[in-house]
Amino acid sequence: MSKVVEISPTTRHEGHSKLVMQVNDDGIVERGDWLSITPVRGIEKLAIGKTMEQVPKIASRVCGICPIAHTLAGVEAMEASIGCEIPEDAKLLRYILQCANRTHSHALHNILSLPDMHIPGTDVKINPFTKEEPVRSAALRIQRLREIAQTIGEIVGGEAIHPSNPRVGGCYKNITPRAKAKIYDLAKEGRLLAQEHMEFMISVFRDFQTRGTTEVGGVEVEIPDDLGYHRQGYMATAPMYGSSSLDANPTWFPERFTEVRPWDWYMGEVEISEADPNYPIGGTTPVGNKAWPQMEACTGVPLYDGQPIEVGPRARLVQFKNYDEKGAMGLQIARQMEFPDTMYGILDAVDALNTSGPVVADKIPQGDGSLGWAANEAPRGTDVHLARVKDGRVQYYSLLVPTTWNFPTCSRALTGAPWRLAEVIMRAYDPCVSCATHMLVIDEDKRLVAQKLIQ
Amino acid sequence: MDVLGNYKSVISARSTDKDITKKSQDGGIITTLFAYALEEGIIDGAIVAGPGDEPWKPEPVVATTKAELLAAAGTRYTISPNLNLIKEATRSYGLDRVGIVGTPCQMQAVRKAQLYPIGMRDVDDKIALALGIFCMENLSYQALEAIVEDHCNQKMESVKKMDIGKGKFTVYTERGAVSQMPLKLLSKYVQPGCNVCLDYVANLADISSGSVGSPDGWSTVFVRSMKGNAVWDGAIAADLFETKPMDQVKPGLDLVTKLATEKITKNQKNVDARKTFGLKADGTAKGLRNPYETP
């Protein structure tokens, strides 16, 4: 006889979400729904009628961990719609910004996932706040990596959180030779730290893979070998940057995308019949409460080739480097493997940068209403923005954000895991729930049905 | 209230660098100090009022060489929004130690950004040297044009130097002509925002400098902060300045004090008058905002 358990809210990720799970008598998830309960802010609706310069700056405020992704995808969707080719040096500045943001984001996520893990070879769980070694030096290394990344982002992007430098047509400013030298120095320091840190983090996740059990809220939980396995596919557009409809050979295909309502995909109304008041910290939802994922989920369910897919670090490595490790730890390890490339990416791009080159296109067309799209490989995966611009104003705007893609995939990946490890699986996706929550929901007839959610 | 602010020492000084004094308004204090600070690595760039796209219209620039500093030497009696670059200097310019020169209000802005950085991330710890200049009041560019071209009857393009002193606005042309306007005609041209300013000698700067109190070609210098003191001592040790004790120069500190007191007294009255600027329907006073008070 299956029971229903709910973890709400989930913790150590960005935004507000919950897990509703049907579990068997052994506490193993039979069907899990992971859903956003972040209030819909409706960026895509309020963008309509605003200028193409303003909208990416608003879209940036979707998320403060990966504002770079939304700024760049937003700006480049506008450029794709109006058909504007930006100068080479502006592309390089954006590329450096992208790499820097990925370093910072991955390092920040380490702080969030480490408390689930153990100091390798011991039963001691990692507390990132402790002054004890070896955790202290790892925490300091994370902070220095993030400081380096945010400083580089600040120089090329104008601002580390909500970059001010990117604009439709390129960037506002090129950097000075002095700033270029500063980026070199920081990236060289960061490259060594990133290597060291990647090795440390992989050893921690490998240790978790080889453990038999782990303790959650006083309960010793068995770790299945196939923790977080799923049979969905992967989607990625580039190892580092992205793609857009201006490319000669775009790597994302809008015709393969469809979206269904949470109504069609999530569980119906259920009553919570299992609870654990000791689940850290504060317990799970008490027995007798109701949950209704169909109605409560604040995201659409995007499909690629008719299926939910996984996006993110593993998807990129699978697509471009034949990575083949599955499961939650496989995903975590793939994320760490992206560390060195970000710093090499910065060094290569800054090498190629001409600090006296122009960074704004000579001509910025005002648009005729054509559909343009841009995909940015955000730290968490493919972030696609679609836009129609006419006479400098946005007529249509839609965001397909990494965590939106991952919500249904991750829900499937919960099956077969002890429910007490569901958050460990979810965290492997580095969820960014604010990012994922957006208004536009399209049903099979391509009609807007967001109203249904609001009722 | 101490109208001259806190300071460690006050000196009358002039740069020993002839390249600088040829172009400087008075003693060349600011240009020399920034050139010294650049050379010593105390700063790696300074925000100064560089040449703009119209004659005598300043444009804030980040100077990283002595040549750029020299291009900014001399007083332009119109607004130069130097704080515009304070954040950008730490971004695309990649500076770690920023120097900035400005009028008293601009020094206030620097200090406020350091203590209450609103949208000013990473600015506070990168201000390495803030140099202030004395300021009685400022003018819009149109006002400056009216004074130079109408009152003084000179073309802006021909002007070599402008100076306010001894009750006159004086314009010197490249070809040797000198025109003057009595300062009592100036008031209608003054930026209205200057009328509530309660700072004459840049009280919040590390070092502040101006012409009043010292002879022509010399400047009165207040060394205020620990940082300012270290830089000043270094510059003196490097023989960059000729100095005279303030009590041995004419007209001396008394005149500085007198003008500072006049400015503050007059403007404090303006500040106070704002409180009862208007009337409500019931006949009671309705005021304008006072930035020095918590609303």
| Least Cα separation, residue B88 to chain A (angstroms) | 7
Alpha carbon A310 to its chain centroid, in Å, reads 11
For chain B, which ranges sit under pLDDT 50?
none
The C-alpha atoms of residue A377 and residue A101 are separated, in whole angstroms, by 11
Q: Is the pLDDT of residue A441 over 60?
A: no
Question: Which of the listed residues B152, B169, B189 is the one where a domain comes to its end?
Answer: B189
**Lookup: tokens for A34:** 């992971």
Same-domain check for residues B221 and B129: yes
- Model pTM score: 0.94
Q: Can you give the CATH number for the domain in which B146 is found? A: 3.10.450.750
Asked if residue B26 is part of any domain, the answer here is yes
Supply φ then ψ for residue B22, to 5 degrees.
Answer: -65, -35
**Cβ pair A361, A87 in contact under 8 A:** yes
Please list every residue in chain A whose beta carbon sits closer than 8 Å to the beta carbon of residue B91. 154-155, 158-159, 165, 173, 179
Q: Which residues contact B18 (CB under 8 A, 6 or more apart)?
A: none
Sign, Cα dihedral of B177, B181, B182, B183: negative
- A182–B91 CB contact, under 8 Å: no
Please list every residue in chain B whose beta carbon sits closer than 8 Å to the beta carbon of residue A161. 121
- B94–A160 CB contact, under 8 Å: no
**Lookup: tokens for A1:** 């006889």
Asked if residue B199 is part of any domain, the answer here is yes
Query: What pLDDT was estimated at residue A39?
Result: 83
Give me Rg for the CA atoms of chain B.
19
Same-domain check for residues B118 and B108: yes
**Cβ pair B247, B253 in contact under 8 A:** yes
- B94–A183 CB contact, under 8 Å: yes
Q: Which residues contact B257 (CB under 8 A, 6 or more apart)?
A: B3, B4
- B88–A173 CB contact, under 8 Å: yes
The total domain count for chain B is: 2
Question: Residue A419, by phi and psi: left (phi above 0), alpha (psi -120 to 50) or beta?
Answer: alpha
Give the residue numbers spanning the domain of B155: 139-189
Please list every residue in chain B whose beta carbon sits closer than 8 Å to the beta carbon of residue A155. 91-92, 94
Q: Which of B94, B96, B121 sits opposite A176 (nearest CB)?
A: B94
**Lookup: tokens for A293:** 């994922």
Q: Does B64 touch chain A (CB under 8 A)?
A: yes
- B93–A174 CB contact, under 8 Å: no
Q: Does A64 touch chain B (CB under 8 A)?
A: no
Residue A220's Cβ-side half-sphere holds a number of Cα atoms within 13 Å equal to 4
Q: What is the pLDDT of residues B7-50, one digit of tens each?
A: 999 999 999 999 999 999 999 999 999 999 999 999 999 999 99
The C-alpha atoms of residue A159 and residue A179 are separated, in whole angstroms, by 14
- B121–A154 CB contact, under 8 Å: yes
Lowest mean pLDDT among A52-61, A67-76, A188-197, A426-435: A426-435
Same-domain check for residues B65 and B157: no
Same-domain check for residues B48 and B172: no
Please list every residue in chain A whose beta carbon sits closer than 8 Å to the beta carbon of residue B63. none
- Output DSSP code: residue A91: H
The C-alpha atoms of residue B248 and residue B236 are separated, in whole angstroms, by 19
Closest residue in chain A to residue B85, using alpha carbons only: A158
Q: Which of B44, B88, B122 sits opposite A178 (nearest CB)?
A: B44
Q: Which of B64, B94, B121 sits opposite A175 (nearest CB)?
A: B94
Q: Does B118 touch chain A (CB under 8 A)?
A: no
Q: Which residues contact A304 (CB under 8 A, 6 or more apart)?
A: A233, A235, A256, A257, A405
- Output DSSP code: residue A256: G
Residue whose tokens read 């940057």: A241
Report the residue of B65, B92, B95, B123 to disrupt the A interface, i.e. the one with the largest count of A CBs within 10 Å. B92
ipTM: 0.92
Query: What pLDDT was estimated at residue A444?
Result: 46
Strand order in the sheet with A242-244: A242-244, A368-378, A381-390, A393-400
Lowest mean pLDDT among A4-18, A292-306, A378-392, B223-237: A292-306
Helix (H) or strand (E) holding A368: strand A368-378
Average pLDDT, chain A: 93
Asked if residue B94 is part of any domain, the answer here is yes
Query: What pLDDT was estimated at residue A450?
Result: 40
- A155–B92 CB contact, under 8 Å: yes
Asked if residue B102 is part of any domain, the answer here is yes
Asked if residue B237 is part of any domain, the answer here is yes
Same-domain check for residues B166 and B77: no
The C-alpha atoms of residue A421 and residue A21 are separated, in whole angstroms, by 12
Same-domain check for residues B183 and B203: no
Asked if residue B177 is part of any domain, the answer here is yes
Query: What pLDDT was estimated at residue B178?
Result: 97
Please list every residue in chain A whose beta carbon sits closer than 8 Å to the beta carbon of residue B65. none
> Which DSSP string corresponds to chain B?
--TT---SEEEEEEES-HHHHHH-SSS-HHHHHHHHHHHHTS-SEEEEEEE-SSTT-EEEEEE-SHHHHHHT-S---S---GGGGTTGGGTTT--SSEEEEE-HHHHHHHHHHHHS-SS-TTTGGGEEEEEEE--S--B-HHHHHIIIIIIS---GGGEEEEEEETTEEEEEETTS-EEEEEGGG-GGGB-GGGGG---SS-TTSSEEEESTTS-TT-EEEEE-SHHHHHHHHHHHHTT-EEEEEGGGSSS-HHHHHHHHHHHHHHHHHHHHHHTTSEE-TTS-EE----TTS--
Query: What pLDDT was estimated at residue B2?
Result: 87
Terminal alpha carbon distance of chain A: 34
Q: Is the pLDDT of residue A437 over 80?
A: no
Average pLDDT, chain B: 96
Q: What is the pLDDT of residues A274-296, one digit of tens each?
A: 999 999 989 999 999 999 998 88
How would you class B128 by CB atoms within 10 Å of its CB: exposed for 0-12, middle for 13-18, buried for 19 or more?
buried
**Lookup: tokens for B158:** 């021909």
Query: What pLDDT was estimated at residue B181?
Result: 96
Q: Which of B93, B121, B122 sits opposite A176 (nearest CB)?
A: B93
With CA atoms as reference, report the closest residue to B248 among B216, B222, B214.
B214
Supply φ then ψ for residue A163, to 5 degrees.
Answer: -60, 135
Q: Does B160 touch chain A (CB under 8 A)?
A: no
The C-alpha atoms of residue A76 and residue A95 are separated, in whole angstroms, by 13
Q: What is the pLDDT of residues A324-339, one digit of tens each?
A: 999 999 999 999 999 9
Supply φ then ψ for residue A186, to 5 degrees.
Answer: -65, -40
Helix (H) or strand (E) holding A409: helix A402-413
Burial A117-147 (b: 16+ CB within 10 A, else e): bbbbeeeeebebeeeeeebeebbebbeebbe
The C-alpha atoms of residue A404 and residue A265 are separated, in whole angstroms, by 13
With CA atoms as reference, report the closest residue to B191 among B50, B80, B284, B85.
B80
**Cβ pair B15, B31 in contact under 8 A:** yes
Same-domain check for residues B96 and B197: yes
Strand order in the sheet with B159-165: B159-165, B168-173, B178-182
Same-domain check for residues B219 and B83: yes
Same-domain check for residues B129 and B220: yes
Q: What is the pLDDT of residues A71-110, one digit of tens each?
A: 999 999 999 999 999 999 999 999 999 999 999 999 999 9
Helix (H) or strand (E) holding A179: helix A177-210
Same-domain check for residues B165 and B32: no
Query: What pLDDT was estimated at residue A438?
Result: 64
Query: What pLDDT was estimated at residue A297?
Result: 86
pLDDT interval class at A262 (50, 70, 90): confident
Closest residue in chain A to residue B90, using alpha carbons only: A155
Query: What pLDDT was estimated at residue A264?
Result: 82
Closest residue in chain A to residue B92, using alpha carbons only: A175
Sign, Cα dihedral of A57, A147, A433, A287: negative
pLDDT interval class at A455 (50, 70, 90): very low
Residues in chain A: 455
Asked if residue B57 is part of any domain, the answer here is yes
Report the residue of A150, A152, A176 to disrupt the B interface, i.e. the one with the largest count of B CBs within 10 Å. A176
- Output DSSP code: residue A260: E
The C-alpha atoms of residue A135 and residue A141 are separated, in whole angstroms, by 10
- B94–A174 CB contact, under 8 Å: no
Same-domain check for residues B231 and B161: no
Q: Is the pLDDT of residue A147 over 50?
A: yes
With CA atoms as reference, report the closest residue to A294 among A37, A39, A42.
A37
**Cβ pair A235, A310 in contact under 8 A:** yes
Asked if residue B108 is part of any domain, the answer here is yes
Alpha carbon A406 to its chain centroid, in Å, reads 9
Same-domain check for residues B99 and B215: yes
- B44–A183 CB contact, under 8 Å: no
**Lookup: tokens for A398:** 């839609």
